[in-house]
């Protein structure tokens, strides 16, 4: 992906999240100098497998597993500090030294325990299927201009005053939502006092660091979390997360201008999955859905929930290509389809009897669409050890060609297993 003119690339999920961004970023980070997370928070679960070890990274960019890579957590992330440190500790325990390689934007907002209580309480009425990590309430506070940011910890007295007001307000809301839970101010204060001395040395003007790196032509990967259909503007609203998961969010959330970004790689699974609620037009009927789930190990990395599984939905990926301005695709988990005799692809929808090639804005309409399927022959042989496109079975290449044609963007990578080396560069 990187060349003399392409030094800053954004990597985004182009479906409903869980497309395998962690693995792709890990593979690409070998050639990068900086990897930046720019939105979302501990709701993400980026899985990377190295040898026998599996790492699930929630907030720390997947590039951290390469010793030469510097990682930034941008201003657009909502940071859960307690979780960050357990993630850091577990990396250190497993021999990954992060010293001097991780910086957190001092403008990033904090996710605090009261956000999780509010998330749980609103989930009772809204039933969106959130991860329960307090993401929505933390972004609500940010945009309501009452968030607490990393920078506020520099004046702990001030943070304490802010907390008093915020915890009081959270408890009023909890009462209003008929929750019996209450946030405890003393526990919040004690937590921030305990964590501030560890967090502040990592705090930096991350946007400035990134700007300087871009100016110096350093190789930068902007690592998106979740997927296009979970974007608060472009996704299947209200069954979305609370940030801009699409490429536009990268500039804002990392603190650079959009003109600094040279290309966009969209990660798509060779089929479709979603965790959480809301319509999923190409959801496979039993027993195919169950078979995809079993073969693909489709259980949420953060919540352990079984993922809903279905066939590749080209309408979704075409839409994601457009709203992200993608310049390439990485197709992951092709090997999961190895044993299927026939593989349907949803090429477009039928809505109220009419053919429809674009995503409807209304979630109710998306719930009513009938996918139009084209059925391709499976290859029924293992692909996990293939390293060249030309060596893939003919039917697998035909499948990839069809995905590429329907999505309108070239396939640049194909992942054929969880290991680092199980990747084909086209
Ligand atoms: P929240 O981000 O926890 O508020 O959850 C909102 C929606 O986004 C729910 O449907 C979640 O299941 C989904 N979601 C959030 N993060 C991820 C992710 O990393 N992968 C897949 N789905 C996610």
Active site residues: 18, 46
Assess whether the C-beta atom of 226 lies below 6 angstroms from ligand 1. yes
- Which residue has the CA at smallest separation from atom 11 of ligand 1? 130
pLDDT of 301 reads 79
- Which residue has the CA at smallest separation from atom 19 of ligand 1? 44
Is residue 299 within 8 Å of residue 305, measured between CB atoms? Answer: yes
Give the H or E element holding residue 223: strand 220-223
Assess whether the C-beta atom of 22 lies below 6 angstroms from ligand 1. no
Cα distance between the two ends of the chain: 11
Q: Cα–Cα distance between 377 and 285 in angstroms, integer?
A: 19
Please list the residues that pair with 351 across neighbouring strands. 354
pLDDT single digits (tens) 123-167: 998 899 999 999 999 999 999 999 999 999 999 999 999 999 999
CB under 8 A, 24+ apart: contacts of 45-51? 45/18, 45/300, 45/301, 45/302, 46/21, 46/22, 46/223, 46/225, 46/301, 47/20, 47/22, 47/23, 47/301, 47/418, 48/22, 48/23, 48/420, 49/23, 49/418, 49/419, 49/420, 50/26, 50/419, 50/420
Is residue 234 within 8 Å of residue 266, measured between CB atoms? Answer: no
What pLDDT band is residue 386 in, cutting at 50, 70 and 90?
very high
Question: What three-state secondary structure class fits 132?
Answer: coil
197: Cβ–Cβ under 8 A, 6 or more apart, which residues?
none
pLDDT of 52 reads 86
Q: Cα–Cα distance between 162 and 323 in angstroms, integer?
A: 37
Whether 289 shows a pLDDT value over 90: the answer reads yes
Assess whether the C-beta atom of 131 lies below 6 angstroms from ligand 1. yes
Whether 42 shows a pLDDT value over 90: the answer reads yes
Assess whether the C-beta atom of 128 lies below 6 angstroms from ligand 1. yes
Q: How many CA atoms lie within 13 A of 412 on its CB side?
A: 17
Q: How far is the CA of 219 from the centre of ligand 1 (A)?
A: 29
Q: Cα–Cα distance between 423 and 379 in angstroms, integer?
A: 18
Q: Cα–Cα distance between 338 and 230 in angstroms, integer?
A: 28
Q: How far is the CA of 300 from the centre of ligand 1 (A)?
A: 10
pLDDT single digits (tens) 10-23: 999 999 999 999 99
pLDDT of 399 reads 98
Q: Which atom of ligand 1 sits closest to the CA of residue 277? A: 10
Q: How far is the CA of 226 from the centre of ligand 1 (A)?
A: 7
> What average pLDDT does this structure show over 190-217?
97
Q: Angle, to 10 degrees, between the axis of helix 394-407 and the axis of helix 314-324?
A: 50
- Which residue has the CA at smallest separation from atom 9 of ligand 1? 130
What pLDDT band is residue 303 in, cutting at 50, 70 and 90?
confident
160: Cβ–Cβ under 8 A, 6 or more apart, which residues?
189, 192
> What average pLDDT does this structure show over 206-221?
98
Give start and end residues of each alpha helix (H) in 15-127: 21-29, 81-93, 113-126
Q: Cα–Cα distance between 406 and 426 in angstroms, integer?
A: 18
For ligand 1, mutation pick of 17, 61, 225, 272 (most atoms within 8 Å of CB): 17
pLDDT single digits (tens) 342-381: 999 999 999 999 999 999 999 999 999 999 999 999 999 9
Whether 1 shows a pLDDT value over 90: the answer reads no
Of 153, 122, 132, give the one whose Cα is nearest residue 45: 132
Pairing of strands 203-204, 102-105: parallel
Length of the chain: 426
The total of other beta-carbon atoms located within 10 Å of residue 18's CB is 28
Whether 51 shows a pLDDT value over 90: the answer reads no
Question: What three-state secondary structure class fits 264?
Answer: strand
pLDDT single digits (tens) 315-337: 999 999 999 999 999 999 999 99
């Amino acid at each position: 992906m990187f060349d003399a003119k392409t030094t800053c690339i954004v990597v985004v999920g182009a479906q409903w999240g869980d497309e395998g961004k962690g693995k792709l970023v890990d593979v690409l980070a070998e050639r990068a100098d900086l990897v930046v997370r720019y939105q979302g928070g501990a709701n993400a679960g980026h899985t990377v497998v190295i040898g026998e070890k599996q790492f699930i990274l929630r907030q720390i960019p997947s590039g951290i597993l390469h010793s030469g890579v510097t990682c930034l957590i941008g201003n657009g992330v909502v940071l859960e500090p307690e979780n960050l440190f357990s993630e850091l500790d577990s990396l250190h325990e497993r021999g990954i030294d992060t010293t001097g390689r991780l910086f957190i934007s001092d403008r990033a907002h904090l996710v605090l325990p009261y956000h999780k209580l509010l998330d749980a309480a609103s989930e009772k009425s809204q039933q969106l299927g959130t991860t329960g990590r307090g993401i929505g309430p933390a972004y609500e506070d940010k945009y309501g201009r009452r968030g607490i940011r990393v920078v506020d910890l520099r004046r702990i007295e001030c943070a304490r005053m802010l907390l008093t007001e915020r915890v009081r307000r959270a408890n009023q809301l909890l009462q209003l939502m008929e929750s019996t839970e209450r946030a405890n101010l003393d526990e919040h204060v004690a937590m921030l006092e305990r964590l501030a001395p560890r967090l502040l040395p990592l705090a930096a003007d991350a946007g400035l660091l990134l700007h300087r790196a871009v100016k110096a032509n350093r190789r930068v990967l902007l690592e998106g979390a979740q997927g296009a259909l979970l974007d608060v503007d472009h996704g299947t609203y209200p069954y979305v997360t609370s940030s801009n998961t699409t490429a536009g969010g990268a500039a804002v959330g990392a603190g650079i201008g959009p003109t600094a970004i040279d290309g966009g790689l969209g990660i798509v699974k060779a089929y479709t999955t979603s965790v959480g609620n809301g319509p999923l037009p190409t959801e496979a009927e039993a027993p195919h859905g169950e078979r995809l789930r079993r073969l693909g190990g489709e259980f949420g990395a953060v919540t352990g929930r079984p993922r809903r599984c279905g066939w590749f939905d080209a309408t979704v990926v075409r839409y994601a290509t457009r709203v992200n301005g993608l310049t390439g695709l990485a197709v992951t988990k092709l090997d999961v389809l190895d044993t299927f005799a026939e593989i349907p692809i949803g090429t477009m929808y039928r809505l109220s009897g009419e053919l429809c090639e674009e995503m409807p804005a209304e979630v109710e309409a998306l719930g009513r669409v009938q996918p139009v399927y084209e059925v391709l022959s499976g290859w029924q042989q293992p692909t996990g050890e293939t390293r060249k496109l030309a060596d893939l079975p003919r039917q697998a290449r035909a499948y990839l060609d069809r995905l590429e044609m329907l999505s309108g963007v070239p396939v640049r990578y194909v992942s054929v297993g969880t290991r680092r080396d199980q990747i084909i560069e086209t």
